[in-house]
Structures are given as C-alpha cells and as structure tokens.
C-alpha cells in the first residue's frame, strides 16, 4: 500500500503552473499505483480561492483510482466547512478525532489551528491513546518543526507568526510509521522520530517563492521500504552564475545561450554574468554584451539578469601587464596556476589604474 505525499500547492485562480503541478502529482499517483495521495496543508493559497476553485479541483482529482486525503493548512483552514464536496474519493481531515482509513492503514491529521505547545502535546497524548499500535498509523501535520532550525523564508512568505510549532519529542509516544508534514517549502527533508518512524517534509511541489530553487520533489512511502524522493517535472527557480574568462576567445553570449538551453525545461532562472572579459579579443564592448544578454533571455529568465562583468582590455593591453604575462608564461607553473596568477594580476591592475 503506497502513499504519495505532497503539501503546499497554494492553488490560486491565476496560477496555471500550480495547477499543472497538481496534474503531475495525480498522474504520478496513478503511475505508482498508490492507494492514497495525501496533501498535508495549504492546497489552496487562500480560503477565498477555495470557494472559487472547488469545481476545478473536483475535475483535477476526479480521474484517479486512489483516495485523496486533504489536511487544512494555515493558508486554507477556513475553506473546508463540513458538507462541501471536493471530489469523488476525496476526504478532508477536519478533526483530529476522525482519521481516514486507507486499506489497512489509518491516516490521522491535525487540521491547522493556532494552538499552544501544551495543548498540542495534550492532544497528541489523547490521539496516542486512540491509535491501534498493530495498524500502520500515519499522521498529517502542517506546521513548523522547531528541531529543524529553518529560516522564515523557508516556509514561503509567512511573516513572523509561528505556525503550529512542534518538536520531534512531541510525537514520541505515538505508534507512527510517518509524520507526513507540510509548511516547509524549500526542499525535501526528513528526521527520525524518537519513538520510531520518520517525520518528512516533501517541500513545495512547485516553486512558490524565489527561495524554492532546484527540482521539486514529492514523497512516496510504502510499507517495509525507505521513503522515496520523486523528482517532479514542475516549475522551479534556479540560480545560474556564468563566470567569464578574460583569456577565452569564445563568445560569452554563446556560452550563456548554451547554459540556458541546457537548463531544465521548467526552470525559471536567476542569471548572473560576472568576471572579466577581453573586449578587444572578442570584438565586444560592455554595452554590447549587456544588450546581448538582455536579448537572449526570453521566457526562461525569472527576472532581470545581474550584469556584474567588466571589460578589462585596457589592462590586458597595458605594456606592463604584457611584460608580466610573458615572464609568467616562461615559468614552469601549470596552465591552471598561470591563469590564477594572471587573474590576480588583473585585479591588482584594476586597483592601481582606477
């Protein structure tokens, strides 16, 4: 009995990339023949969005041959009033006392609420008393794991409130296979639970903020096997830094074009072009390079590229620099070493000449 676990889709009316990520998760769930797709909070970006998007969600989740289990998160916990219909084979965990059965497994959940640590610990104790330790128990949780030392930006744009903070030790007495969590966006991350089992954040399946760089993941769990990080073919951010080489005669624009072409099809790139180039060797000015980079960019770029390059032809053509260079070429240093020394020289000349 396999379960595909995700969280933090933040669906909104105008965010087609997030809907595409949901479609990808649904088809992945089918391909892995799972019994359940669990969404551990923040399926919708906002309660009001849920009101508009319920019918579209029914269509998206409708086709699968598996059960979808949704946990309310801090962004959408007011969206799941009882009696609402989210789709065939879709259950919402609206109460910690009412788990969902998935074949032999029991899926418990802590719907998001502002709650003190003491009350959360008390609630988990009551939950433990209700759990049958002979069954596979899973707990869906949406909030901050205090043992993890994240920065605020790792959760998306959340300001300074703490969202249902918990410690691994709170789960110690629960007979759990997994805590399948949400709220932490940056990346897939897991921890051993003190009483056995694992706590896992899958990371957002589609980038929500700029910090969500790298290929997005979902989490596949099956009994008796290690959890599996599954790479998703969804929109995400990437930092790309191009370091120019002042001794190269290859066009920087060709290099940048090649790197952009090789990037993931769904990547949105933050591009930095930095370092030195020899404009007279390339027949290129700083202005021409800047305009060339801007014209290359197109759809793959997430924002304005950072142009941190310098044409250093005035240094490389300086007589004194050339004397240094020819002396250096006569030495027995390795080509790599020579190049590093020359870069140091360029830097030294830049300071002297300005």
- DSSP letter for 212, please: -
Does residue 272 contact residue 236 with C-beta atoms inside 8 Å? no
Residues 42-61 that bind Mn ion (CB under 5 A): 42
Stretch that binds Mn ion, among 40-48, 97-105, 123-131, 201-209 (CB under 5 A): 40-48
Comparing every residue's Cβ against Mn ion, the nearest one is 183
Using alpha carbons, list the distances in angstroms from residue 335 to 1, 247, 332, 338, 339.
58, 12, 9, 5, 6
At its nearest, how many Å lie between Mn ion and the CB of residue 50? 14
At its nearest, how many Å lie between Mn ion and the CB of residue 183? 4
Q: Which residues pair with 199 in a beta bridge?
A: 179, 191
Which listed residue (36, 64, 73, 197) binds Mn ion by CB under 5 A?
73
Judged by beta carbon, residue 142 or residue 342, the one nearer Mn ion is: 142
Stretch that binds Mn ion, among 67-75, 185-193, 207-215, 251-259 (CB under 5 A): 67-75
At its nearest, how many Å lie between Mn ion and the CB of residue 157? 10
Is 74 near Mn ion (CB under 5 A)?
yes
At its nearest, how many Å lie between Mn ion and the CB of residue 41? 6
3 state SS for 145-203: EHHHCCCCCECECCCCCCCCCECHHHHCCCCCCEEEEECCCCCCEEEECCCCCEEEECC
DSSP H helices in the chain: 16-31, 47-62, 117-130, 252-262, 279-282, 286-296, 313-316, 319-330, 335-353
The alpha carbon of residue 305 and the mean position of all alpha carbons in its chain are separated, in whole angstroms, by: 21
Stretch that binds Mn ion, among 41-49, 214-222, 288-296, 327-335 (CB under 5 A): 41-49
Judged by beta carbon, residue 158 or residue 318, the one nearer Mn ion is: 158
Judged by beta carbon, residue 42 or residue 229, the one nearer Mn ion is: 42
Judged by beta carbon, residue 159 or residue 298, the one nearer Mn ion is: 159
Judged by beta carbon, residue 68 or residue 74, the one nearer Mn ion is: 74
* Residue 271, helix vs strand vs coil: strand
CA neighbours closer than 13 Å in the CB half-sphere of residue 116: 3
Does residue 214 contact residue 238 with C-beta atoms inside 8 Å? yes
The interface mask with Mn ion, positions 183-202, x = CB under 5 A, is x-------------------
Is 205 near Mn ion (CB under 5 A)?
no
Is 234 near Mn ion (CB under 5 A)?
no
Q: Please give the residue ranges that form the binding site for Mn ion (CB under 5 A).
A: 42, 73-74, 183
């Amino acid at each position: 009995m396999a379960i595909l676990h995700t969280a933090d889709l933040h669906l909104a009316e105008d965010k087609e990339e997030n809907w595409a990520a949901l479609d990808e998760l649904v088809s992945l769930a089918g391909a892995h023949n799972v019994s359940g797709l669990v969404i551990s909070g923040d399926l919708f970006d906002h309660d009001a969005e849920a009101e508009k998007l319920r019918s579209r969600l029914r269509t998206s989740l409708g086709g699968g041959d598996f059960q979808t289990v949704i946990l309310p998160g801090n962004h959408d916990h007011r969206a799941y009033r009882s009696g609402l219909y989210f789709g065939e084979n879709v259950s919402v965990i609206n109460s910690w006392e009412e788990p969902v059965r998935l074949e032999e497994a029991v899926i418990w959940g802590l719907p998001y609420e502002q709650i003190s640590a003491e009350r959360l610990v008390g609630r988990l104790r009551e939950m433990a008393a209700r759990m049958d330790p002979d069954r596979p128990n899973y707990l869906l949780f949406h909030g901050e794991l205090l043992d993890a030392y994240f920065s605020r930006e790792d959760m998306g744009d959340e300001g300074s409130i703490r969202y249902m903070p918990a410690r691994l030790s709170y789960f110690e007495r629960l007979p759990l296979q997994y805590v399948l969590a949400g709220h932490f966006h940056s990346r897939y991350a897991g921890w051993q639970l003190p009483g056995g089992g694992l706590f896992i954040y899958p990371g957002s399946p589609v980038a929500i903020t700029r910090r969500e760089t790298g290929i997005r993941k979902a989490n596949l769990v099956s009994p008796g096997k290690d959890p599996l990080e599954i790479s998703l073919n969804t929109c995400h951010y990437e930092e790309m830094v191009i370091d120019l080489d002042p001794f190269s005669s290859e066009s920087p624009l060709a290099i940048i074009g090649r790197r952009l072409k090789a990037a993931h099809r769904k990547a949105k790139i933050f591009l930095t072009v930095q370092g030195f180039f020899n404009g007279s060797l390339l027949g290129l000015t700083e202005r021409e390079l800047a305009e060339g980079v801007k014209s290359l960019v197109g759809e793959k770029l997430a924002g304005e590229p950072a142009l941190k390059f310098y044409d250093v032809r005035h240094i490389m053509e300086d007589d004194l620099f050339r004397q240094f260079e020819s002396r250096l070429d006569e030495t027995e240093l390795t080509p790599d070493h020579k190049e590093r020394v020359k870069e140091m020289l360029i830097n030294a000349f830049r300071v002297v000449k300005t």
